[in-house]
Amino acid sequence: MEDLRSLTREERKQLLREMGQPAYREKQIFKWICRGASSIDEMTDLPASLRESLKERSSFEGPEIAAVQTSSDGTRKYLLRFSDGNCVEAVFMRYDYGNSLCISTQVGCAMGCRFCASTIGGKVRDLKAWEMLSEYTSVCRDTGLPINHVVLMGIGEPFDNYKEVCRFLSDIHDPDGIGLSLRNITVSTCGIVPKIEAFGRDFPQVNLAISLHASDQQEREALMPIAKAYDIDALLAACRAHGEATGRRVTFEYTLIEGKNDSEKSARALASLLKGMLCHVNLIPLNPVAETGLKSSGRERAEEFRSYLEAHGVPATIRRRLGADIDAACGQLRKNTSTEVKR
């Protein structure tokens, strides 16, 4: 039986027409979905007879919040379990400008980046758009707080699940539901070039972040297998075209790894690559993942790297480190874990 949330809005309208119901019922159902309703019975503005009929024709399950960890800095990491038993993690963060949620787009990840915990064990499956939306609604409901920024930087490669990610963006932006501004959403990709080009056409208002993490092709191939499919020159050409077409700057995420990509030579090469581009570099001192054996360059080296880029005309900042004490920082999320503890 198909989950009621998995249907598009038009498909739900068609279902309701077949049931002899007026079209406005779909808007009521959509509002309940966006409020994070956990069952059809919660939809109290629907007639009881309609609720019973919907339960006979469709399912409405999960995800459940299996566990929550709270960091000393107030960051919360959620372990969400879907009805098939698969789990993902989402991270709630507080900033001066509002609350932000980092969501996952896949169970596991196939990209194989050497420094990232999310790819350990590979990809299990894509998430559906409604499952991504339910990460947002579940955390909103649990915290009781508004979430006005969303980043697709959790487990998975968003552009490897492009169709469902696009549907999620449309759903969360829909004014009949959450109505989140597209300008308050950031999608991060490791560099699937054809999808960068499509994304600029489909969602020009959504912020684009590129997981770059290297300053030349050889360095990037050593850290990110995707570089063998799309080389750094093709990637940067797509990013330049994206900025020119949308008028929006591209953010380049650059994880600093001791002895791998943190030398002055790397800083010099990166500045040369990006100079003159509408962009910003977000430097991330590597967050520890035991299985990788890699070490962080540390804050002092990050400051030196940032200063070099700034001095050579490339805007750069160092990402604020949130949730590292609960393995919720950048690169630490996993598709499953047995060490989570309920709050």
Q: Which residues are catalytic?
A: 89, 330
Nearest Cα neighbor of 279 from 320, 299, 251 is 251
Cα separation, 88 vs 91, in Å, equals 10
Kindly state the DSSP code that residue 59 receives in the 8-state scheme.
B
Cα separation, 252 vs 189, in Å, equals 10
SS3 65: strand
Beta strands in 112-262 (DSSP E): 125-126, 149-152, 185-189, 207-211, 250-256
Type and span of the H or E element at 323:
none
- At residue 161, φ and ψ (nearest 5 deg) are -135, 45
Angle at the Cα of 189 (from 188 to 190), degrees rounded to 5? 135
Angle at the Cα of 342 (from 144 to 339), degrees rounded to 5? 135
